[in-house]
Amino acid sequence: MTMTATTVQNPLLIGAGLPPFDSIKPSHIVPGITELIADLTTALEQLESTVTPTWDGLVDPLTRIEERLGWSWSIVGHLMGVKNSPELRAAFEEVQPALVQFATRLGQSKPLYEAFKQLRSSNQWTSFDPAQQRIVDSSIREAELSGVGLEGAEKERFNEIQQALAELTTKFANNVLDATKAFSLTLTTAAETDGLPPSLLALAAQLARDAGDENATPEAGPWRITLDYPSFGPFMQHSRRRDLREQLYRAFVTRASEGDLDNSPNIEKILELRHEMANLLGYATYADLSLARKMAASVEAIDKLMDELRVASYDTAVKELDELNTFAQAKGAAEADSLTHWDTAFWAERIREEKYGLNDEELRPYFPLPQVLDGLFALAHRIFDITIAPADGKAPVWHPDVRYFQVLSNSGDPIAHFYLDPYSRPAEKRGGAWMDDCINRGKINGQVRLPVAYLVCNQAPPVDGKPSLMTFRDVETLFHEFGHGLQHMLTQVDFTGAAGINNVEWDAVELPSQFMENWCYHRDTLLTLARHVDTGAPLPEDLYQKIVAARTFMTGSAILRQVRFGWTDIELHHRYRPGSGETVTAVSQRIAEQSSILKPLPEDAFLCAFTHIFAGGYAAGYYSYFWAEVLSADAFAAFEEAGLDNEGAIAATGRRFRDTVLALGGSRHPMEVFKAFRGREPSTQALLRHRGLVAA
């Protein structure tokens, strides 16, 4: 782009440093990304024609192309998440196809693939750092999994499958969305709302107004209940109308299984195409292909973990159902002898209220955000020997509520920075919470470039001059995302491709985040950050004990449910064959026989709405939730063994965790990293103990 006195450079094309959020507009996206892709296509063609199989002649220039693309495109992606608008969305949709096309072109580049293979077999290989070797190995693997080795008709078929799968998975997700939207239950009398809390009545009246009943109020109705989780979940927990709970439950488990929105044929086709794609790439099954990118070595290892968790949780889940029955009987419930799917959430909630007396609203005043941050930062100082200090005003932000912090070493030098965007803004910010990388650590011209993270949460904003008051779940979420941030920020790897969370196997990346959640149940940590917003009084001991006790409530049933989902996923992607005689539904029912206390209804079609595996990134990977929890619970057990009240031992263990799990990032295989920290392979014992399934 030629600069003249009258033109100002498009801020999306700066390409380095902190994003200038104060000057980026949606109107910059189409011209900026279009120009960027044109420039990078030229750079890629030039690299392909001049590439030499050396680090300087291949990896460095390729990293520069990927980083230029990543810098600009990740800003656009970030803004889509935190500052969405019709203009931004339209610009994003306009440039996305060209971007996907460029990414495919990059992934299937033959000259670069050949150069990587030559680099691996060259004399330089043995002199490479382990991080460099991992980057080269994963670059070769990713090219192969992108179909770089295929020729002629096979390559054509592979690209057709990719296209078809993209369309089918989108159709699957849209069907679930449309089927969820298509059903609603309108309540018109107070009797029908018996038991519903004020927050749900307010939401239900709002949904009724959105649907055209402009006079609906929380007090007088009408009230609209939908299959969307914020509506469905609380209704199943609180409604005293068993007939309405049944109606809602049956609608929920048959979503997207009938008529125009039936996902059954899409499931068959998706499984068929995934299997064919795996075969084209030389893998026996799609599960084998999926595991090529993961820490779990084999389907057998996953089966072993699933069976261990099933055996450990089954008897507990049976006892939990008995406890619900007994409790319902004591309350004189007519259905006490035959509790079923639409009763469990309701009675579990009644026990939780009576047994633990826990109420989110009662806890909130003890968790004002500024104080929770102070407690979190004090913990990071104690266990990782870092200091976190405000750096507001040192970086442009996308919203006035966003904070900016610096992370300092024990000698007071900055080693990383992060943004914190804590509050919900439903009009422009997507739900949930996440950590993303803004800038990766790397070495540029001999200088270390410091990492910068985005930490995004969605808690209640400050109201009436009081700070944001957090639920206990909000506190856990903040600790979780901060754990991801620590792995990004405390990395010691200078090769960008393996720094922080880059190149960490997908089923190991939740280790630091789930690890940090454990500290929310540690007495001293929690009592440091939990003080009443008005009086400064510490969290009462009885409330702390209730929080700890409630952690393991209904845990057998919860684990068994996840085992059922994880095992069904592996079965469909590994052993099932379309057209083999056994239907997908039969597979699902067969797995449920071994892993459910309450057998599914005959019409249960939960697979038709299982977007995690049919439209998300969890195909043959749903087990990852447990895999990472085994690692994180066992890592926390190292601190428990050292003695959580022994400051010296905690600091030493924290240092070891920092020097291994947090520092090594993707430069070593996660099993090697874990063994470097723990001195052995992971064990499931800590997970079972934390979940209350074996005695402490």
Task: Retrieve residue 249's tokens.
Answer: 């439950």
Q: How far apart are CA 41 and CA 506, in angstroms?
A: 29
Question: 3-state DSSP call for residue 377?
Answer: helix
- First-residue to last-residue Cα distance in the chain: 65
Instruction: Name the residue type at position 430.
Output: R
| Residue position matching structure tokens 């239900």 | 204
Q: How far apart are CA 497 and CA 519, in angstroms?
A: 30
Question: 3-state DSSP call for residue 331?
Answer: coil
Q: Phi and psi for 643 in degrees, rounded to 5? A: 105, 105
Q: How far apart are CA 378 and CA 645, in angstroms?
A: 15
Instruction: Name the residue type at position 122.
Output: S
Instruction: Name the residue type at position 150.
Output: L
- Would you tell me the crossing angle of helices 670-678 and 624-642 to the nearest 10 degrees? 20
Q: How far apart are CA 262 and CA 272, in angstroms?
A: 17
Question: 3-state DSSP call for residue 295?
Answer: coil
Q: How far apart are CA 610 and CA 572, in angstroms?
A: 12
- Would you tell me the crossing angle of helices 624-642 and 647-657 to the nearest 10 degrees? 140
Whether 647 is catalytic is no
Q: How far apart are CA 485 and CA 473, in angstroms?
A: 18
Task: Retrieve residue 510's tokens.
Answer: 């939740």
Residue 447: enclosing H or E segment and its boundaries?
strand 447-449
Beta-carbon contacts of 182 under 8 Å, excluding residues fewer than 6 positions away, are: 261
Residue 187: enclosing H or E segment and its boundaries?
strand 184-187
Q: How far apart are CA 309 and CA 135, in angstroms?
A: 34
Please pick, among 67, 481, 517, 629, the residue that the annotation labels catalytic: 481
Q: Give the DSSP per-residue string, 630-675.
A: HHHHHHHHHHHHH-TT-HHHHHHHHHHHIIIIIHHTTSS-HHHHHH
Instruction: Name the residue type at position 214.
Output: E
- The answer to whether the CB of 628 falls within 8 A of the CB of 295 is no
- The answer to whether the CB of 317 falls within 8 A of the CB of 556 is yes
CA 95-179-618 angle, to 5 degrees, is: 60
Task: Retrieve residue 420's tokens.
Answer: 């914190």
Q: Looking at the annotation, which residues are catalytic?
A: 481
